[in-house]
Amino acid sequence: MRNQTGRIEVITGPMYAGKTEELLRRVRRAEYAEENILVFKPVIDNRYAEGEVVSHNKSHTRSINISKAKDIWNFITDDTDIVAIDEIQFLDEEAVDICEDLADQGIRVIVSGLDRNFRGDPFSFMPRLLALADQVDKLTAVCVKCHAPATRTQRLVNGKPANYDDPIILIGATEAYEARCRHCHQVPGKKKKN
């Protein structure tokens, strides 16, 4: 039975799009079906809680914190039906191959992650994962400037749009992120590609 159910579902989009909410919704439904579910998140994401996946509207479930994608194998048993991973973009690229292996073994893989970084460019290995997925749901948030569907994450440093070349860690600066549409997203110093 299990062999036929293996698949990769990716929930993607910018911050605040409801990716974690949607992942939790699918996990809850599977709990009603008495499936064996493992929920993982990268240890780097400590925004709200250790050992929990939490959405911006405070929906949450218990999770296993991992620092390397291959740590997932330590928890897989013959009984595992579903593997869910929140914020997968913060794991290493081996995560993509592991998703493929799990799905091939008959496990339903549900992952969520950002498709773009704050610069608006594809986020590390996410393009590969999106291409290999059996199902992709690209969600939008609400643009905080114009209320159009938001597809980008705006990074603000000390209240101003972050520069293209700004380092990922800025000591002593106040950082914030918000959802914005294509037209309201600002990345000073970014060159047009074509």
Say if residues 139 and 17 touch (Cβ distance below 8 Å).
yes
22 has catalytic annotation: no
Q: Which of 20, 61, 151, 154 binds ligand ADP (CB under 6 A)?
A: 20
Task: Please tell me which residue in 31, 34, 50, 87 is annotated as part of the active site.
Answer: 87
Q: Which residues bind Zn ion (CB under 5 A)?
A: 143, 145-146, 148, 181, 184
Q: Which of 30, 36, 43, 56 binds ligand ADP (CB under 6 A)?
A: 56
Binding mask 135-154 for ligand ADP (x = CB under 6 A): ------xx-x----------
Instruction: Report the half-sphere exposure of 63 (CA within 13 A, side-chain side).
Output: 31
| Consecutive H or E run containing 57 | none
Binding mask 4-23 for Mg ion (x = CB under 5 A): ---------------xx---
DSSP letter string, 136-154? EEE--EE-TTT-SEE-EEE
* Partner from ligand ADP, Mg ion, Zn ion, none binding residue 145, C-beta < 5-8 Å depending on class: Zn ion
Identity at 93, one-letter amino acid code: E
Label residues 128-163 b or e (16+ Cβ within 10 Å = b): ebbeebeeebebbbebebeeeebbbbbbbeeeebbe
Please say which residue, 147 or 160, places its beta carbon nearer to Zn ion: 147
Q: How far is residue 51's CA from residue 82's CA, in Å, rounded to a whole number? A: 18
Q: How far is residue 188's CA from residue 23's CA, in Å, rounded to a whole number? A: 33
* Partner from ligand ADP, Mg ion, Zn ion, none binding residue 146, C-beta < 5-8 Å depending on class: Zn ion
Please say which residue, 6 or 126, places its beta carbon nearer to Mg ion: 126
* Partner from Mg ion, ligand ADP, Zn ion, none binding residue 151, C-beta < 5-8 Å depending on class: none
Q: Which of 6, 10, 19, 166 binds ligand ADP (CB under 6 A)?
A: 19
Identity at 40, one-letter amino acid code: F
Cβ 131 to Mg ion shortest distance, Å = 22
Please say which residue, 69 or 141, places its beta carbon nearer to ligand ADP: 141
CA angle 81–87–92, rounded 5-degree value: 90
Just list the catalytic residues.
Answer: 87
Given the rule CB under 5 A, which residues bind Mg ion? Answer: 19-20
